[in-house]
Amino acid sequence: MSFIIPSIDQLDVSKELIEAVNRSSLSTSSILLTPLPRLAELLKVKISTAQSYVRQVSHAITPSTKRLNEVYDIESGPSRLPIDNQGGEDGNTDLGGKGKGKGRDDERRRGKWNSTGDDGFDKALGGGIRRGCLYEITGESAAGKSHLALHLALSFQLPSLSSSPGGSLILTSERELSTDRLVQLGKHLLSIHERDSLENGEIRVKNLLDNVLTNRVGDVDALEHALNYAVPAILESRLSTDTITNANPLKPRDESTNSRSGSIGSSSSSSSATSSNIRNTIGQGKTILPIRLIILDSITALFRGGSTTDEKPTAPSSISLTERSKRLCIVADALKSLAVKYDLAVIVINQVSDVFNKQPNSNPIMNLSQPTSSFTQTQPFTGIGMKRRSLSNGGAGEEGENDIPMLYKTQSRWFSGESDSLKKEASLGIVWANSVNVRIMLSRTGRRRLINQIDLKHKKRRTILQKQEEEEERQLAIDNSLADVDVEENIKATLIRKLHVVFSPFSPSSTIDYVITSNGVHSLADSHKAIDMTEVVKKKREKERIRKQNEDEDEAEGEYNGNGVGGFGNRSGTRDDEEDDGDGNQGKEDWDEVFDDFGELPDEFWNGTYGLDGQIEGGNGSEPGNDTRSDRFSNNRLDYTSINGSNRISTNGLEQVSEPGVKSLETGSAAD
């Protein structure tokens, strides 16, 4: 629902009212707010007529209310299966494309939900992407945000993934759309979800690209102009093509009419007819679908670049920040009203900023000057284990030390996307955070794993010893002609990325791991973990309390227990409090995940040809083998130690003794 009140001629009121208003040029709000005698005077009518006018207008403006069971019917459609039944199956991403029964399709195509095409994501998001809502995808650079948006722009068009497929509108602010990747993704998505149509030639990749419209918006003014005028014009024009059948309600959804429930019901029951109709229309000459997704990539660039009219760019002042907040609200409102009116989903891509720990402040006077709400002055607020530390502590610069409840820093941990493993928060502050419905944070975990690119099966990294054994086994198998030789090229050290649903009205807060392969975005099976923020906060309190205790003890003995070394407890950096299982063990299966964010480890490491004491298997000593290694790695000083410590690869052939500081990498429980 929008703040914007429509003008009188857009409302459903009697003709005479419209004429009267036009004669006296009153606006809608003044009709409602002017006292009756004055209104009758202005409109030159009797008081009773004026009264009926006011009644008509307020009736027309009020959104219609629906009963809850009507809403439920709209939501769940004919198949009343609750959403988590989907997870009852193996929950793996079904990449084969076969075995997709009709039941599965129906679950996906339900009401206002558009499936993303990947079961893991659908589960994490509570069913997929929901039309009528404003989504935000945020994350640091190279996290995969634009890529995910492209994937969704294509998956929204597939009839098997939603009851109301449609094209997308991409507004870019930084760079032009990258279409090569769209073509690649399109091919793969079609081959998985619409294999029959692809083979019949009903849908082609070109048809998918025809339904992706794009435009550049250079600054906020251009964006507002586009959202108010250009975009509605495009949306309207694509609704009125006559090749879309009547089964899809085409009229923009007015806030006062209630026509959706009936038509949705009928469309679901005749869903097969609808989708085949759409397939036909897509295949034929006219390939126009209504727009069901608007993507804005990215909104931060519009607000961060600074206006080009400024002579000298200065740091943001409070005036410019309030100006920014105002415009953000206007933009968010325009997007949400478009989403509701035209039954589409809006996805906005945001960037991140760094989170800094507060500077250690030894001056207690400074703490007094921090604004606190008067409530906390009079009573210590003890909710969720937060305790007010005494001011004499002087703020040791840790989170959780001065936990004054109403500060942005305390509140933001619930919605900013910041987590233990990721010291970044979504940009544009609290105003924007309150404007979006769902916030999704993407990040690179930095860990790499050997993964078969086709079926996403995990492959263990081989060491030299194992490799010899495997070779022998394989030789045996070949001899007995039992072998099924692995396709080696498909196995790559793939970076694992994390999708974190920070907040959403449709699903609990959770994370799920995924990878990007040449075939698109795929979530990894069994990686979906729910997060319980209150537990996280409690655990952090405990840890700090214990650490503080230890510190106090150690101080007495004069030992320094710095933050840097003791602070991190794990190598990969993501096995932290957010795991709900409570045990701090790193699972056995993770021992060959290595932290390698930019892929700087050489192939030999993954192939297992880089063995003990830095010898390359099969290399002669005289060859540039030795020089290669030392030259290549002299800068990096890499020291790979696995959990069980059986491999120790070191540079320059020297064994590196692990120091006490480094030992904490292995959570103290590993060998050595």
Residues 563-582 that bind another protein (CB under 8 A): 564-565, 567-568, 570-573
Instruction: Choose the stretch contacting another protein; rule: CB under 8 A; options: 230-238, 394-402, 585-593, 642-650.
Output: 230-238
Q: Which position among 69, 308, 379, 392 is part of the footprint of another protein (CB under 8 A)?
A: 308
**Minimal distance, residue 439 CB to another protein, in Å:** 17
The window from 41-49, 156-164, 336-344, 592-600 that contacts another protein (CB under 8 A) reads 592-600
Q: Which of residues 449-468 bind another protein (CB under 8 A)?
A: none
Summary count for the chain: helices (H), strands (E):
27, 17
Q: Which is nearer to another protein, 270 or 320 (CB)?
A: 320
67-75, 261-269, 335-343, 559-567 -> range binding another protein (CB under 8 A): 559-567
Q: How many CA atoms lie within 13 A of 555 on its CB side?
A: 7
Q: Which is nearer to another protein, 44 or 286 (CB)?
A: 286
From 306, 508, 584, 653, residue interacting with another protein (rule: CB under 8 A): 306
- Whichever of 285 and 668 has its CB closer to another protein, that residue is 285
Q: Cα angle at 659 between 550 and 566, to 5 degrees?
A: 30
SS (H, E, C) 63-125: CCCCCHHHHHHHHHCCCCCCHHHHHHCCCCCCCCCCCCCHHHHHHHCECCEECCCCHHHHHHH
Question: Interface with another protein by CB under 8 A: which range of 54-62, 114-122, 249-257, 419-427?
Answer: 419-427
Q: How far apart are CA 65 and CA 1, in angstroms?
A: 13
Residue 389 or 629: the one with the smaller Cβ distance to another protein is 629
In the shown chain, the binding pattern of residues 466 to 505 toward another protein, with x for contact by CB under 8 A and - for none, equals -----------------------------x----------
Most distant CA pair in the chain, distance = 107
Is 311 within 8 Å of 259 (Cβ atoms)? no
418 binds another protein (CB under 8 A): no
Q: Which of residues 350-389 bind another protein (CB under 8 A)?
A: 351-354, 356, 359
Site for another protein in 10-29 (CB under 8 A): 27
Closer to another protein at the Cβ: 255 or 420? 420
The smaller minimum CB distance to another protein, of residues 266 and 658, is found at 658
Cβ distance 514 to 148 under 8 Å? no
Binding mask 168-187 for another protein (x = CB under 8 A): -x----xxxxxxxxxx--xx
- Residues touching another protein, count (CB under 8 A): 97
Six-digit token pair at 669?
A: 């429980």
- Residue 609 phi/psi, 5-degree rounding, is -90, 0
Query: Residue holding tokens 């955070």?
Result: 433
In the bound state with another protein, the residue whose beta carbon lies nearer, of 237 and 280, is 237
3 state SS of 469: helix
Single out the residue of 126, 124, 138, 177 nearest to residue 154, CA to CA. 177
Site string for another protein, 92-131 (x = CB under 8 A): ----------------------------------------
Unique residue bearing structure tokens 């014009």 = 233
Region near another protein per CB under 8 A, out of 51-59, 220-228, 335-343, 470-478 = 220-228
Nearer to another protein, 91 or 619 (CB): 619
Type of residue numbered 489: E
Least separation in angstroms between CB 85 and another protein: 36
Please state the closest distance from residue 184 (CB atom) to another protein, in A: 8
Buried-exposed string 23-53: b where 16+ CB fall within 10 A, e elsewhere: eeebebeebeebeeeebbebbebeeebbeeb
Q: Near another protein by CB under 8 A, which window of 33-41, 130-138, 202-210, 403-411?
A: 202-210
DSSP 3-state of 12: coil
Binding residue (CB under 8 A) for another protein from 115, 162, 298, 507? 298
For 204, residues 6+ apart whose C-beta sits below 8 A from its C-beta are 198
End-to-end CA distance of the chain: 62
Amino acid (one-letter) located at 339: A
Out of 33, 71, 142, 273, the only residue in the binding site for another protein (CB under 8 A) is 142
Question: Considering only residues 196, 236, 472, 672, which one is a binding residue for another protein as defined by CB under 8 A?
Answer: 236
Tell me if 388 sits within 8 A of 403, measured CB to CB.
Answer: yes
CB of 140 to another protein, least distance (A): 6
Single out the residue of 404, 418, 301, 434 nearest to residue 356, CA to CA.
418
Binding mask 502-541 for another protein (x = CB under 8 A): ----------------x-----------------------
Site for another protein in 594-653 (CB under 8 A): 594-600, 624, 627-628, 631-632, 635-640
| Runs of H (alpha helix) within 270-401 | 271-283, 300-304, 318-341, 364-368, 374-378
Closest CB 637 distance from another protein, rounded Å: 5
Distance CA(277)–CA(283), nearest Å, equals 10
